[in-house]
Amino acid sequence: MSAVPELRITLAGAERVVAGGTTYGDALEADGRSVIAARANGELKDLAAAVSEGDVIEPVPVGSADGRAIVRHSTAHVMAQAVQEIFPEARLGIGPPVENGFYYDFDVKSPFTPDDLKRVEKRMREIVKQGQLFSRRAVSDDDARAELAAEPYKLELIGLKGGAGSDDGADVEVGGAELTIYDNLDPKTGELCWKDLCRGPHVPTTRSIPAFKLMRSGGAYWRGSEKNPQLQRIYGTAWESRERQDEYLHLLEEAEKRDHRKLGAELDLFSFPDELGSGLPVFHPKGGVIRRVMEDYSRRRHEEGGYSFVNTPHITKGHLYETSGHLHWYKDGMFPAMELEGAEYYLKPMNCPMHNLIFKSRGRSYRELPQRFFEFGSVYRYEKSGVIHGLTRVRGMTQDDAHIYCTREQMQDELKSLLNFVLQLLKDYGLDDFYLELSTRDDSDKFIGTAENWETATEALRQAAISSGLELVPDPGGAAFYGPKISVQAKDAIGRSWQLSTIQVDFNLPERFELEYQAADGSRQRPIMIHRALFGSIERFFGVLVEHYAGAFPPWLAPVQVVGIPIAEAHAPYLHDLAKKARERGIRIEVDASDDRMQKKIRNAQKSKVPFMLLAGDEDIANGAVSFRFRNGEQRNGVPIEDAIDEIVSAIERRVQV
RNA sequence: GCCGACGUAGCUCAAUCGGCAGAGCAACAGUCUUGUAAACUGUAGGUCAGGGGUUCGAUUCCCCUCGUCGGCUCCA
């Protein structure tokens, strides 16, 4: 028989024997469309790679997480090829897959224009249609250097091979044990069309890319450091099918419609007057109602939760922030000092130091711990101009900030009940899909305090997080300089995650402020401090709620809960009467007595996303009734006035969405 | 802060290759009195983001500043 050796592999749980030289594609009978790669013993492989003795082989479907990443990575290659064909002087950076898509960085003489992107995309479609083969080839470091002599960034990556730096996407290029280059070959002639240093794997041919679209371009620092030169990044998206891509693009459209900056202007909630400066919002009456209701409810819950309310000023002499360490660790994030009477005054970037002064204002007993101070505290931070973004990233904001002073023994229970409190309150505002992130220190020197304290605090947070039963995602190195934190990430109505509440344990500030309480044995002990912002900031949470509800707030939060619409002018007094009764029950109601047609009034109320419209004409008046129109266009006619008011009051009190 | 795009009426957008700035909606006034998403007519509204420059003349071309948008970096 043949001299070709036989190999034993495991496929779909069953052992099989195949001839040497069999590829993963052969073994899986993969079509290169629905199955685009293989997983052998856990490692992703090209379909064209040969199987090895003992391989346990699984297919990688194009629509799986791995499959999508491969498609996206391959699309990034196609894009880079197109870019270099159109702009031969373009040098390559890196081109990894990312969530929902991919990017590739290029060093080009001038940044890409939208028109450039169109040209690149057009060329990409030609390449995809041509069905170029992705062909893998191992190279030695020296050969790679010679082949890529014209690609300085790739040369730098070769130098990094095996090194640390895997957090910047570079490992996509050089992450493997050996360097490999992927050649893109013409399927008819076998001619080399393009090549790139790459770990792989890739789809078998460019035809295996079912759907893609270039999205946008922008500057990006080489290897993520602002000390490095800035390259030009092009972002694209790619999917396993046209349908999935359309769904994704539709989601983006939906997100755009919900943009709180847009809705904030449309619904007359808030604005950013240029005169005030960037990142400084003002809330209009309608936004003001929402804020007030949000805050009132929060205050009530905090009162029930055993918090004490405190108030502190917006500016302070610098000494306070020397004590706290902010002027040392955080000066770049603060507005510069104002010189007054020989002292330097600073706008406050955080409330905690002032709360510490309140704790310190007299001797404290263990009997009064845990002591929970709460404040809607306004803080000002000098955010760099390029990062300011609507209400989610501002320079002046109000934190719903609390600081809890407790003993070491109390810390664990306090954290558990705190997390519970936070989650319950967020649910009341209509968010109910959460996960947690545990941010811990790493080796960086930006973290202060003893390793032992960090360990204790981290472990206490971890326990609290675990007891919540929510998914816990580690975030090494993400902690504040003074202590570890849990952040609550909430998913909104269209599945986007927002970082909201943070809970941080701090051994450091009590130390710096020399905070003490007297213990039962008469000794003086240092309390532990827990920092906690629930909304994060009111502005940010406000923005999140606008997007979550797409501006259609549930009745309890809606700035106007009811609009009364007379069928004709003569019916207005009847609605004014009704409105008076409703206001007595605490309902925010307006009667639209303008000259507009009834249909126009409905349209206006609908556009302002009012939860309830109450219409009244001759028929209703004859019956002492009113007719509902709801946001979804449904109506219910002839409802007795008292019943209508009861129904609205009930919806408000139960904080339900309608 | 860095790279890029952009800034015209309250909003959404036209126009001017350097020669008196235009529409819809909103606002205001009047007419009309209507049963579930836009009645009709009229009026008013602009230092074309701000400042400087080039020019006989700048909203238009150039520079600076401010602001917005998309990225990067950052986000205690």
Q: Which two tokens stand for residue A317?
A: 């002499």
Order of strands across the sheet with A635-640? A589-591, A562-566, A612-616, A625-630, A635-640
* pLDDT, greater one: A385 or A103: A103
- What is the structure's pLDDT at A163? 43
Instruction: Give the distance, in angstroms, between residue A608 CA and nucleotide B46 C1'.
Output: 28
Q: Are A548 and A557 in contact (CB under 8 A)?
A: no
What's the pLDDT at A629?
Answer: 96
C-alpha–C-alpha distance, residues A447 and A454, integer Å: 10
Task: Enumerate the active-site residues of A.
Answer: 352, 381, 399, 401, 403, 485, 531
User: What is the pLDDT at residue A200?
Assistant: 83
Instruction: Tell me the C-alpha distance between A68 and A203, whole Å.
Output: 10
pLDDT of residue A613 exceeding 70: yes
CATH number corresponding to A307-548: 3.30.930.10
If one counts every other C-beta atom within 10 angstroms of the C-beta of residue A303, the result is 12
What is residue A175's predicted lDDT score, i.e. its pLDDT?
A: 61
Q: Is the pLDDT of residue A130 over 70?
A: yes
Q: Where are the domains of chain A?
A: 6-61, 65-254, 307-548, 562-653
**CA separation for the pair A74, A199 (Å, rounded):** 11
| Residue range A492-512: mean pLDDT, rounded | 91
Taking the C1' atom of every nucleotide in all shown strands and the CA of A629, the nearest one is: B36
For residues A484 and A463, give the distance between their C-alpha atoms in angstroms, rounded to a whole number: 13
pLDDT at A3 over 80: no
Most trustworthy range by pLDDT among A168-177, A416-425, A474-483? A416-425
**CATH architecture for residues A65-254:** 2-Layer Sandwich (3.30)
Cα A258 to Cα A216, A252, A472, A545, A586, distances in angstroms: 20, 10, 28, 10, 29
Residue nearest to nucleotide B67 (CA to C1'): A274
Strand partners, A315: A347
CA of A558 to C1' of B18 (A): 51
The predicted-structure confidence for A272-311, as pLDDT tens digits, reads as follows: 988 888 999 999 999 999 999 999 999 999 999 999 999 9
Spacing of A101 CA from B12 C1' in Å: 32
Q: In this structure, what token pair is assigned to residue A30?
A: 């993969």
pLDDT tens-place string over residues A6-28: 888 898 888 888 888 899 999 99
- pLDDT over 70 at A495, yes or no: yes
Q: What is the pLDDT of residue A313?
A: 96
What's the angle, vertex CA A337, arms to CA A334 and CA A340, rounded to 5? 150
Known binding-site positions of A: 352, 403, 531
pLDDT in tens, A246-281: 999 999 988 888 999 999 999 999 999 888 889 999
Whether the Cβ atoms of residue A619 and residue A574 lie closer than 8 Å to each other: no
Give the CA-to-C1' distance from A143 to B57 in angstroms: 65
Q: How far is the CA of A390 from the C1' of B11 (A)?
A: 18
Estimate in Å the CA A284 to C1' B33 gap, whole number: 34
pLDDT at A57: 92
| CA–C1' nearest nucleotide, residue A485 | B76
Q: Is the peptide bond before A370 cis (omega within 30 degrees of 0)?
A: yes
Distance in Å, residue A154 CA to nucleotide B58 C1': 49
pLDDT in tens, A161-203: 644 444 455 666 666 568 899 999 999 999 999 999 998 899 9
Which residue has 């029930």 as its token pair? A304
Please give the angle made by the CA atoms of A143, A151 and A126, to the nearest 5 degrees. Answer: 100
pLDDT score of A450 more than 90: no
Note the pLDDT tens digit of each residue in A201-226.
999 999 999 999 999 999 999 998 88
Q: In terms of DSSP bridges, do strands A485-491 and A497-506 run parallel, antiparallel, or are they unpaired?
A: antiparallel
Interatomic distance A153 CA / B63 C1' (Å): 35
Give the contacts of A155 (CB within 8 A, at least 6 positions apart): A145, A148, A149
Mean pLDDT confidence for A96-117: 91
Question: What's the Å distance between residue A390 CA and nucleotide B47 C1'?
Answer: 29
| Residue A103 scores a pLDDT above 60 | yes
Scanning A180-241, the segments in alpha helix (DSSP H) are none
Instruction: Give the pLDDT of residue A541.
Output: 95
Q: What sign results for the dihedral spanned by CA atoms A26, A28, A29, A34?
A: negative
Task: Tell me the per-residue pLDDT of A538-588, one tens digit each, with 9 for 90 and over.
Answer: 999 999 999 999 999 999 999 999 999 999 999 999 999 999 999 999 999
Instruction: Evaluate if residue A2 carries a pLDDT over 70.
Output: no
Cβ atoms of residues A106 and A154 within 8 Å: no
- Residue A282 Ramachandran class (φ > 0 left, ψ -120 to 50 alpha, else beta): beta
Please, which positions of strand B sit below 7 A from a protein CB?
A: 1-5, 11-12, 26-27, 30-40, 66-76
**Structural fold of domain A562-653:** Rossmann fold (3.40.50)
Q: Which residue is nearest to nucleotide B29 (CA to C1')?
A: A595
Q: Supply the mean pLDDT for chain A.
A: 92
What fold, for A6-61?
A: Ubiquitin-like (UB roll) (3.10.20)
Smallest Cα–C1' distance to nucleotide B39: which residue has it?
A597
The nucleotide whose C1' lies nearest the CA of A352 is B76
Residues tagged in the binding site annotation of A for Zn(2+): 352, 403, 531
The spacing between the Cα labelled CA in A74 and the C1' in B10, in angstroms, equals 48
Q: Are A628 and A555 in contact (CB under 8 A)?
A: no
Contacts of A245-248 with C-beta under 8 Å, sequence gap 24+, read: A245/A211, A245/A212, A245/A213, A248/A100
* Percent residues over pLDDT 70 in chain A: 97
